[in-house]
Amino acid sequence: SKYGRTEMEEAWKSMEVDILRRLHKVGIPVPTPYAFVEGVLLMELIKDSRGNPAPRLVDVRFSPKDAEQMLKTLVHYVAKTLCEGVVHGDLSDFNILIGTEGPIIIDFPQATDPANNNNARKLLLRDVKNITYFLGRFNRKLKKYRYGPEMWSLYENGKLTPETKLTGRF
């Protein structure tokens, strides 16, 4: 029904805002949500060092060393997000902005709770693979890392913490 669709949309909006606030509280760089206007979530504008809208990860070129550091940073954020009970579900080089302080993760409408979704493992593995393969274009050795399976195994066994140092070996 029209009422049911409206209620579902309101729940979805609320969920994304709640996730953004939760992640921000634990130090994961996400935009600050401000309000909904005509069904659109208004958030903080992420800027680059010149004050322009920040580029997406896909629009940035990296040296091999910078690609490796970026991957480590993003994998750490994904692990912290998982510890907070969230799997992004659509993380890729299109959903990460490069702001003045580093990467900012955006676009959480498909986020899911790993404890309550049978597909969470598959989504997490895909999220990590997406960023690993993108950054692997700038540093081929990155493609050998298996951060996703390592992270999920630690999570499943109750051993993943926000401070866990992942090796990429599994």
Please pick, among 48, 90, 107, 113, the residue that the annotation labels catalytic. Answer: 90
- Rounded to whole angstroms, the Cα distance separating 124 from 82 reads 9
Helix axes 64-83, 120-136, angle to 10 degrees: 170
Can you list the pairs that 19-24 forms with residues at least 24 positions away whose Cβ atoms lie under 8 Å?
Answer: 19/86, 19/108, 19/111, 20/108, 22/84, 22/86, 23/81, 23/84, 23/86, 23/105
100: amino acid identity, one letter = T
- The yes-or-no answer on residue 113 being catalytic is no
The catalytic site residues sit at 90
